[in-house]
Structure 1
Amino acid sequence: MIRNEVLPNRQECAGSLRNVIDALYVLNGKWKLALILSLVQSSKRFNEIQKEVSGISAKVLAKELKDLELNDFITRNVYPTTPVSIIYEATGYSQTLKSVIGELSAWGGQHREKVKQSMRKQS
Structure 2
Amino acid sequence: MKSTEPACQYELKVAKDAMEVIQGKWRIPIIISLTYGNKRFGEIQRDIPEISPKMLSQELKALEENQLITRTLYDSMPITVEYALTPLGLSMKDLLVELRNWGKHFRKEIVGK
Q: TM-score, normalised by structure 2?
A: 0.91
Shift, 1:81, TM fit: 1.1
- Number of aligned residues: 111
Shift, 1:116, TM fit: 3.5
Partner of 2:91: 96
2:86 paired with 1:81: no
Quick one: which of 24, 28, 34 aligns to 1:29?
24
Partner of 1:5: none
Please list every run of 5 or more consecutive structure 1 residues that lacks an aligned counterpart in the other structure: 1-7
Q: What pairs with 1:56-75 in structure 2 (closer than 5 Å)?
A: 56-75=51-70
Partner of 2:103: 108
Q: Which runs of 4+ in 1 moved over 2 A?
A: none
SS at match of 2:39: coil
Counterparts of 1:116 and 1:40, CA distance in 2:
26
Please list every run of 5 or more consecutive structure 2 residues that lacks an aligned counterpart in the other structure: none
